[in-house]
Structure 1
Amino acid sequence: MSHKSNSLKQLALQKFKKNFWGVFSFWFIVFVGLVSVFAYVFAPDNSQYANQMHLSIHSKQPGFKITILTIPSQLEVKQTVIDKLFFGKKNTDTEVPISNYFIKNDALIYTEYASDGLEGVKKEISLNTFLEKNAANYITEKHFLFGTDKYGRDLLSRVLVGARISFFIGFVAVFISLIIGVFMGSVAGYFGGKVDAIIMWIINVTWSIPTLLLVIAITLALGKGFWQVFIAVGLTMWVEVARVVRGQIISTKEMQYVTAARALGYKDLRIITKHILPNIMAPVIVISAANFAAAILIESGLSFLGIGAQPPMASWGAMIKDHYNYIILGKPYLAIIPGLCIMSLVMAFMLIGNALRDALDVKN
């Protein structure tokens, strides 16, 4: 039995490897996962939530370059390397976009950047403000590859940091939906009768409520926030898993190996967990991949409505909400770029779901 199981796994793996779009989607998801985990390593703006604002350079086109003067702060912020790596740098320094500067009598005189051909304000700062007393070390040229948003923040950094929410909400939501859905579906399908009727009533009532409306209600009950959205989305996605598991168990519990397990005196819990569930996981895996995509879309919709991740936290849905008006103002990329990110990640999960369905189909 074990040898046969291993053979089926190897056969499914071989079929999956032959599916180009499945393999491509798998590696794309791995890439997005690495980017989301180590977002602050890749992001040009590694401040917390990539929230370094420069209002004078708001809504600039992709490829925009500007000279930045960094004025050091007197505040000392203690942060561990791990904290900086995963949660960003607590930046207390002041960054000022400038158009030109020169040094005169132990003072740095600079002109603040002003757009639309206007002349910026000239200001003077003592060189003693700088720790190294060398102002040139605090003046750098920044390149905004994706441009800046309406608050002058680096759009590329916001996209990279925003990937974290969209990616991890899939894992958390699917994990919650699997725990609840597999349990409810297993109990309903295996025991049947009144237990099945009660659970199916709960499933049908939950299913009858629009998903977005239910998520909004749960989010409002739990409060606005990062983890509340994750839990709310997970609590609305278990019904699909429960129905699939229930149907599979109903058709499987009369199989000979289940009857033999009962005859040997095994307890119901062992029969369900050790004998039935391992043999019906193929459709559950496929629906989980689809639920990943659905969770990303739901979270994006919530963020667009202002119920999801709250500012200054970066979220692809919130970025679309902030900039959808710019589509008619000649700067559509501010909304299109995060929209394409959502589309590509959802498409990857749907393609990998289709590939898994073909690979795990023993009839082909």
Structure 2
Amino acid sequence: MKQENGSFSQIVFKKLRKNTLGVLSFSVIVLAGLISIFSYLFAADKTENANRQDLSIAYAPIGYQQKTIEIPLPNYEGKMHFADYFFGKKIDSEQISITSYKINKNEVEYVPYLGNGLSGEPIKVDISAWTKYDIKPQDIASKFIYTKTYLLGTDSYGRDFYSRLIIGTRISFLIGFIAVFISLVVGVTLGAIAGYYKGKVDDVIMWLINVVWSIPTLLLVIAITLAIGKGFWQIFIAVGLTMWVEVARVVRGQFLSYREKEFVEAAKALGFSDMRIIFNQILPNVVAPVIVISAANFASAILVESGLSFLGIGAQPPTPSWGNIIKEHYSHIILGKQHLAILPGLAIMLLVLGFNIFGNVLRDIMDIKN
């Protein structure tokens, strides 16, 4: 048997680097994490939730280009603030699709695009709409009239589909992160107490675990969501409160095994408190299986959230979520514009597959028998 040098984490990292599937799956997870944090840096529409609508270009095809004029609104600020790169920018200008324009001395005249190749009547806008914000007249044509490119076309409301898809990554990734965090806090705590103290404490906790375990996950999430309300944070809490059972069962089993070990008996003989033995002596030995379960729970949380959003009780519009994007456009699988439903479905599949493969790889390389 080959002896490996270094700490357990170093050995795991070395094995992970040599595993092609592990590296690829981890890369997918890291990429999704970066996109979820810096969504608005990657998105073309940097407004909050990428919710800038233009019905005249609804269902535009992939790669569609449209000449656009931007007219400042009363709350116009122009530049983006630091927080806007993380949470999106408030809509402070009106973007109008046009077919042509003409700039005169005191006004800007444009012909609006009505969709389906149709043009409207010319509209004149006083040039003060820009100059009152210290915008020079010569800058209007170069900075406020331009051709927008929609990489993945637009959705049913004329919103940039690429931007909606990118920002939707944040919901799916955060639901996994927060749900797993909640499940770890609840599951590790209850599992550790049940496994260490045994007896009646273990009986009560196991009764609770069995009750929760017997209820279908999706049904339980729906019940909790209906009880605490629909919304962004509510769905995180609801999913997290249904995923702690498996963690608790595994931690309990590990604690039942380790509490009989010699090092635990030695710690008791030295007068260590129960909390110190639980958290300092036993818990570090349980980390490996908990990490593997967390990776699997990440994938499950993403699927549950997508299902709830599809049913309309997850993230609420206009907040983009891969689940509610599919809900809005699933009929187009047979009516045309299939990419509006297929792309978010592929994104869910890729991220879930990444977490599942990564969890399996971790399970294998953390096995001390290998």
Whether TM-score is above 0.5 comes out as yes
In structure 2, the residue matched to 1:136 is 141
1:317-328, aligned counterparts within 5 Å? 317-328=323-334
Verify: 1:282 aligned to 2:315, yes or no: no
1:297-316, aligned counterparts within 5 Å? 297-316=303-322
Supply the distance in 1 between the matched residues of 2:328 and 2:350 (Cα, whole angstroms).
Answer: 20
Q: What is the SS of the residue equivalent to 1:98?
A: strand
Amino acid at match of 1:123: I
Contact between 1:72 and 1:94, CA under 8 Å: does it hold in 2?
yes
- 1:275 Cα deviation after fit: 1.1
- The answer to which of 249-258 and 69-78 deviates more is 69-78
Supply the distance in 2 between the matched residues of 1:100 and 1:128 (Cα, whole angstroms).
Answer: 20
Gaps of 5+ in 2: none
Contact between 2:130 and 2:137, CA under 8 Å: does it hold in 1?
yes
Verify: 1:147 aligned to 2:167, yes or no: no
Supply the distance in 1 between the matched residues of 2:58 and 2:238 (Cα, whole angstroms).
Answer: 34
Contact between 1:47 and 1:91, CA under 8 Å: does it hold in 2?
yes
Supply the distance in 1 between the matched residues of 2:279 and 2:287 (Cα, whole angstroms).
Answer: 11
Contact between 1:13 and 1:359, CA under 8 Å: does it hold in 2?
no
Supply the distance in 2 between the matched residues of 1:118 and 1:13 (Cα, whole angstroms).
Answer: 60
Percent of residue pairs bearing the same amino acid type: 55
Q: What is the SS of the residue equivalent to 2:119?
A: coil
Amino acid at match of 1:66: Q
- 1:76 Cα deviation after fit: 4.6
Amino acid at match of 2:221: V
Q: What is the SS of the residue equivalent to 1:81?
A: coil
> Residue 355 of structure 2 is aligned with which of 330, 334, 349?
349
> If the length of structure 2 is used for normalisation, what is the TM-score?
0.93
In structure 2, the residue matched to 1:113 is 113
Amino acid at match of 2:328: D
In structure 1, the residue matched to 2:9 is 9
1:227-306, aligned counterparts within 5 Å? 227-306=233-312
**Can you list the C-alpha shifts for 1:91-149, whole angstroms capped at 9, x where unaligned?**
22111011222235643322221333333343222233222234413111111001111
Supply the distance in 1 between the matched residues of 2:239 and 2:76 (Cα, whole angstroms).
Answer: 39
In structure 1, the residue matched to 2:163 is 157
Contact between 1:98 and 1:110, CA under 8 Å: does it hold in 2?
yes
Matched positions, count = 361
- 1:247 Cα deviation after fit: 1.0
Q: What is the SS of the residue equivalent to 1:203?
A: helix
Verify: 1:19 aligned to 2:19, yes or no: yes
> If the length of structure 1 is used for normalisation, what is the TM-score?
0.95
Describe the shift of the 1:5–1:280 C-alpha distance in structure 2 as closer, same or farther (beyond 3 A). farther
Amino acid at match of 1:182: V
Contact between 2:67 and 2:147, CA under 8 Å: does it hold in 1?
yes
Supply the distance in 1 between the matched residues of 2:76 and 2:366 (Cα, whole angstroms).
Answer: 56
Contact between 1:39 and 1:161, CA under 8 Å: does it hold in 2?
yes
- The answer to which of 57-66 and 117-126 deviates more is 117-126
Gaps of 5+ in 1: none
Describe the shift of the 1:116–1:363 C-alpha distance in structure 2 as closer, same or farther (beyond 3 A). same
- The answer to which of 119-128 and 253-262 deviates more is 119-128
